[in-house]
Amino acid sequence: MPNSFGKLFTISTWGESHGPGIGVVIDGCPPRLPITPQEIQAELDRRRPGQSEIVTPRKESDLVEILSGVYQGRTTGAPLALWVRNSDQRPSAYDEMADKFRPSHADYTYHVKFGIRDPNGGGRSSARETIGRVAAGAIAKKLLAGLGGKNLPGVEIRAFITQIHDISIPPDAVKSFPSLVEVEASPVRCPHPATAAAMIERIKAMRSEGDSVGGVIECRVRGIPVGLGEPVFDRLEADLAKAMLSLPATKGFEIGSGFGGTRIRGSEHNDVFESREGRIRTATNRSGGVQGGISNGEELVFRVAFKPTATILRAQATVDVAGRTVELMGKGRHDPCVVPRAVPIVEAMTALVLVDHWMRHFAQTRSFEI
């Protein structure tokens, strides 16, 4: 199903950018998980618009409502339905776009595929759809945090920005697992202060010029056991790639050494095994925590590339629905760079993949004693 994701822990999102609201139904959530609206809201607040001067000024509180699946503060095992009402819609800003296709946007392909489209804010193709993913991801994160066992922190997921346009964090500047405080210290969500300051100025410059820029998010996960991943078609990195590339504006995914690994020899690239801390570990982590499509117990490390925002406040040549050459000036409220608000979305999709694979792993390997 095109609007659903996951096999055992399944989400289905619904709603449009300028419709009444955005929601998600979660099926397969284990019962008795303590959960509050405030826990979900904390994640939604990280992705909401209007949170800083470098994102869209659209004013939305994005307050979550739990419609079903929770009783006396705990999940019941029934489907969870969550939704967020839209309150700051301005469809008039998209009147011109009803007949003209925005360059590099989903307008043309949606129009041809379905024969009808909602031009207001991009409708279903808007990144506002990701509200449902982040809300569901908050529940997945809560599940993962409780899987560490006695005196262990559980699974921790941390995404952060390493590049905006041509400004990048210096190599090896973030060697240790960054804290949430370090990431959230800057509105650009880069844990390297000097680089973050330069990134912010670049985004501001693009906004003043009516232009946009993209960037790269790195995500690290620790506390994952050996064994997650279902070869051959549902390898862990394959499902992570699908999850990330399903996000609006994504254009690339790499794990571990990624494309850089093509420039070194096998003797340099191999992660040598060793005994450390009472278990088998690898001396390096160029595999990014996955070998043979299965997690190896090391830190999961991958990166996601985001293109510049397609809708820019500049006149551009395009065509209309009749194929005539026309000019289109972008209107509305748009992020000059989508990457800062994409950080919690990347974390949410990571959590959804990991919970689903955790459940699949235990269903296959722990359900029967043979």
CA distance 199 to 160: 13
Is residue 305 within 8 A of residue 250, CB to CB? The reply is yes
Q: Taking the domains of the chain in order of start, what are their residue ranges?
A: 4-365
> What would the pLDDT profile of 284-311 be if each residue is shown by its tens digit?
999 999 999 999 999 999 999 999 999 8
Tokens at residue 256, please? 């571990």
DSSP 228: -
Tokens at residue 189, please? 């969500």
> What would the pLDDT profile of 111-122 be if each residue is shown by its tens digit?
999 999 988 878
CATH topology (fold) of 4-365: Chorismate synthase, AroC fold (3.60.150)
pLDDT of residue 330: 81
pLDDT, mean of residues 2-8: 96
pLDDT, mean of residues 305-327: 95
Is residue 195 within 8 A of residue 168, CB to CB? The reply is yes
> What would the pLDDT profile of 126-184 be if each residue is shown by its tens digit?
899 999 999 999 999 999 998 865 555 799 999 999 999 999 999 989 999 999 999 99
